[in-house]
C-alpha cells in the first residue's frame, strides 16, 4: 500500500488506463460468455443498496423477505412456487450447495455422483471439496447423453445424479425425464444444473423450441441451479439454488450465534453476502416478469437461428450440434479450432474455445448487427 494519498482524479486516470484493454459487453464483441450486460434497472437497484450484508440477515428483514419472494418467483418459473433456496454468488456456489445436500441426505451410504462428461467444472470442484467421486458418462456422437449409458454407471455407491439443462459447451439438455425416473426408482438425489437453461428453457417451451421437461415438474428433481447473472440479466454476482423441500435446505444450514441481527442459521457457502445482488434479482424479476424474459429469449433465438444458418453456408465450418438453447457450437474442418479462435481474437472477438469447437452464446447484449459482422469475419477467416 502506498504511504501518501493519491487524488481521486489521479486514481481515476490510473483506473481508466488500466481498464482500457478490457472487453465490454457494450462493444458487442463478447460472444463467448454466459454473462451479459446487467439490465440498467438491476444495476440501479444494485448500486443503491451496496451496504447491505445478508450474511447477517437479522439486520435486513425487509431484504430477506424480498429474497424469499424472489425464490418463490424463480420456483414458479421452475414449476414449484414454494421452492426453498437462496440467491448465491453463481452457478458454482449453487452446485456446491446441491451436492452438499445430496451428500448429507445420503448419510454416508456412498459417495458417487453420476454426471455427463459435459458437466461444468464446478461439479468436479464441488466433488473435490465434499469428498465425493464423480463418475462421468461419455456422450454419444451427437453430443447427447444416452440414458442407458447413465444406468450402466449406477452402483450401490451412487448417491446422486446431476442432469444439465443447458450444457456449458453447447447449451444442450440432458434427458432429465429419464434421470428423474432413475432417481425415483433407485432413491437417488437428482440435481439439475440449469445455470444457463433455467431462464431459457421455460420460455423455449412456450415458444415451441423444445418440449424437454427439466424442472420440479419431474418428481425426482430435488434441487436446481438457476443463474440470474446469466440469462436472468441481473448484476454479477447472482446465482440461484432452489430445493424441493425445506428439509433439504436444512441439511446445509449452519447455526451462527453471534450476529448483530441475532442468532440465525446460514445456508450459503460464503458468509458475508451481497444484499444488493439479491435486491437487484428481485427487482428485475418484478420489472420484467415472464413477458420480459420471454421476449429476451425470443430475441436470443432469432440471433441463434441467424448465426446457425450463416455457419451452415460457410465452407470449412460446421455446426457441432443443432442449437437447442441460445448456444452455437462452431467446428472447423479445414483448420484446428485453436487457429480459428486465434484468428477471430485477432479481429477483436472474445470467443470461447472448447476441444473441437468454438462456442458462441447469443446473450442479450448482442444485436443482429454484431452477429452479421461476426458471420462476415467467420467467412473471411475460414477461407484464410
Ligand atoms: N453450470 C453451468 C452449466 C455453467 O455453464 C456454469 C458457468 O458457465 C456454471 C454452472 C458456473 O457458474 P458460475 O460461473 O456463475 O459459478
Percentage of the chain surpassing pLDDT 70?
100
Residues in Cβ contact with 42 at an 8 Å cutoff, skipping those fewer than 6 apart: 233, 234, 235, 280, 281, 283, 284
pLDDT given at position 384:
83
Ligand 1 centroid from CA 32, angstroms: 13
| DSSP letter string, 349-379 | -B-EEETTEEEEE--TT--HHHHHHHHHHHH
296 and 240 in one domain?
no
Say which CATH number the domain at 98 has. Answer: 3.40.640.10
User: Among the three residues 221, 256, 287, which one is the final residue of a domain in this structure?
Assistant: 287
What CATH code is carried by the domain that includes residue 377?
3.90.1150.10
The yes-or-no verdict on residue 142 having pLDDT over 90 is: no
Q: Which atom of ligand 1 is nearest to the CA of 227?
A: 15
Q: How confident is the model at residue 144 (pLDDT cuts 50, 70, 90)?
A: confident
Q: Is the pLDDT of residue 241 over 90?
A: yes
- CA-CA distances (angstroms) from residue 135 to 55, 111, 118, 147? 34, 10, 12, 14
Convert the pLDDT of each residue in 179-228 to its tens digit: 999 999 999 999 999 999 999 999 999 999 999 999 999 999 999 999 99
Q: Measured in angstroms, how far is the CA atom of residue 59 from the centroid of ligand 1?
A: 30
Taking 3-state DSSP, the helix, strand and coil percentages for the chain, each rounded to the nearest 5, stand at 45, 15, 40
For residues 359 and 170, is the Cβ–Cβ distance under 8 A?
A: yes
Closest CA to 91 of 162, 29, 174, 189: 162
Ligand 1 geometric centre to CA of 267 (Å): 20
The HSE-up count of residue 35 (CA atoms within 13 Å, CB side) is 17
Cell of 225: 441451479
Considering the domain architecture, whether residues 30 and 65 belong to the same structural domain is answered as no
Residue-number span of the structural domain to which 299 is assigned? 24-38+289-382
Q: What is the pLDDT of residue 253?
A: 93
CB 83 within 8 A of CB 74: yes
Domain stops at, among 287, 322, 343:
287
Q: Is 318 exposed, middle or buried (0-12, 13-18, 19+ CB in 10 A)?
A: middle
Residues 88 and 192 in one domain: yes
pLDDT tens readout for residues 312-330: 999 999 999 999 999 999 9
User: In this structure, is residue 370 part of a structural domain?
Assistant: yes
Asked if 238 and 284 touch (Cβ cutoff 8 Å), the reply is no
For the CA atoms of the chain, what is the radius of gyration? 22
Q: Give a yes or no: residue 17 inside a domain.
A: no
- What is the rounded average pLDDT of the residues 71-76? 98
Average pLDDT in the chain: 97
Domain check: are 339 and 268 in the same one? Answer: no
Q: Answer yes or no: do 28 and 151 share one domain.
A: no
Q: Which residues pair with 357 in a beta bridge?
A: 354
Pocket of ligand 1 (CB under 6 A): 34, 90-92, 95, 120, 122, 164, 166, 168, 193, 195-196, 227, 239
Asked if residue 124 belongs to a domain, the reply is yes
* Ligand 1 mutation target, pool 36, 195, 360, most atoms within 8 A of CB: 195
Ligand 1 centroid, distance to 365 Cα (angstroms): 18
Atom number, ligand 1, closest to the C-alpha of residue 239: 15
Q: Which atom of ligand 1 is nearest to the CA of 237?
A: 15
**Smallest CA separation from ligand 1 atom 12, residue:** 91
Of the candidates 118, 261, 139, the one whose C-alpha atom is nearest the C-alpha of residue 193 is 118
Do residues 82 and 164 both lie within one domain? Answer: yes
Q: What is the pLDDT of residues 39-63, one digit of tens each?
A: 999 999 999 999 999 999 999 999 9
Same domain as 231, residue 136: yes
Quick one: pLDDT band at residue 377, thresholds 50, 70, 90? very high
Same domain membership, residue 87 and residue 54 = yes
CA 330 to CA 312: how far, in whole Å? 10
Distance CA 131, CA 114 (A): 14
Is the same domain home to 249 and 329?
Answer: no
Q: For residue 3, is it within any domain?
A: no
- Rounded distance from Cα 284 to ligand 1 centre (Å): 20
What total of structural domains would you count in the chain? 2
pLDDT of 332 reads 96
Residues 184 and 293 in one domain: no
Mean pLDDT in residue range 150-166: 98
**Residue located nearest, by CA, to atom 5 of ligand 1:** 168
* 373 falls within a domain: yes
6 lies in some domain: no
Kindly state whether residues 236 and 336 are assigned to the same domain: no
Q: Has residue 4 been placed in a domain?
A: no
* Residue where a domain stops, chosen among 237, 253, 287: 287
Number of residues that make up the chain: 384
Quick check: is 88 in a domain?
A: yes
Q: Are residues 262 and 309 in the same domain?
A: no
Amino acid at each position: 500500500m502506498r504511504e501518501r494519498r493519491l487524488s481521486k482524479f489521479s486514481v481515476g486516470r490510473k483506473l481508466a488506463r488500466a481498464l482500457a484493454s478490457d472487453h465490454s459487453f457494450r462493444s458487442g464483441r463478447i460472444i463467448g460468455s454466459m454473462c451479459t450486460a446487467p439490465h440498467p434497472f438491476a444495476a440501479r437497484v444494485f448500486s443503491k443498496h451496496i451496504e447491505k450484508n445478508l450474511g447477517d440477515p437479522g439486520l435486513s428483514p425487509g431484504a430477506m423477505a424480498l429474497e424469499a419472494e424472489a425464490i418463490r418467483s424463480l420456483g414458479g418459473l421452475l414449476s414449484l412456487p414454494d421452492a426453498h433456496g437462496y440467491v448465491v454468488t453463481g452457478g458454482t456456489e449453487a452446485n456446491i450447495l446441491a451436492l452438499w445436500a445430496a451428500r448429507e441426505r445420503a448419510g454416508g451410504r456412498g459417495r458417487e455422483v453420476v454426471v455427463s462428461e459435459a458437466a461444468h467444472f464446478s461439479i468436479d470442484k464441488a466433488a473435490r471439496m465434499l469428498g465425493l467421486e464423480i463418475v462421468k458418462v461419455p456422450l454419444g456422437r451427437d453430443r447427447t447423453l444416452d440414458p442407458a449409458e447413465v444406468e450402466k454407471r449406477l452402483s450401490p455407491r451412487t448417491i446422486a445424479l446431476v442432469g444439465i439443462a443447458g450444457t456449458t459447451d453447447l447449451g444442450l439438455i440432458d434427458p432429465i425425464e429419464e434421470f428423474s425416473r432413475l432417481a425415483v426408482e433407485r432413491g437417488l438425489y437428482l440435481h439439475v444444473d440449469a445455470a444457463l437453461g433455467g431462464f431459457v428453457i421455460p420460455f423455449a417451451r412456450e415458444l415451441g423450441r423444445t418440449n424437454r421437461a427439466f424442472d420440479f415438474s419431474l418428481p425426482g428433481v430435488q434441487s436446481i441451479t438457476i443463474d440470474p447473472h446469466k440469462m436472468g440479466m441481473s448484476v454479477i454476482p447472482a446465482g440461484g439454488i432452489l430445493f424441493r423441500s425445506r428439509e433439504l435446505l436444512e441439511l446445509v444450514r449452519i447455526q451462527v450465534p453471534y450476529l448483530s441481527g441475532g442468532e440465525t442459521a446460514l445456508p450459503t457457502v460464503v458468509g458475508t453476502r451481497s444484499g444488493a445482488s439479491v435486491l437487484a434479482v428481485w427487482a428485475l424479476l418484478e420489472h420484467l416478469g415472464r413477458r420480459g424474459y420471454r421476449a429476451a429469449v425470443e430475441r436470443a433465438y432469432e440471433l441463434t437461428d441467424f448465426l446457425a444458418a450463416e455457419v451452415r453456408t460457410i465452407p470449412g465450418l460446421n455446426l457441432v450440434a443443432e442449437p437447442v438453447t441460445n448456444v452455437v457450437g462452431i467446428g472447423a474442418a479445414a483448420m484446428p479450432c485453436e487457429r480459428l479462435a486465434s484468428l477471430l481474437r485477432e479481429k477483436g472477438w472474445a470467443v470461447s474455445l472448447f476441444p473441437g469447437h468454438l462456442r458462441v452464446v447469443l446473450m442479450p447484449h448482442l444485436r443482429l448487427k454484431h452477429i452479421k459482422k461476426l458471420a462476415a469475419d467467420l467467412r473471411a477467416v475460414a477461407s484464410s
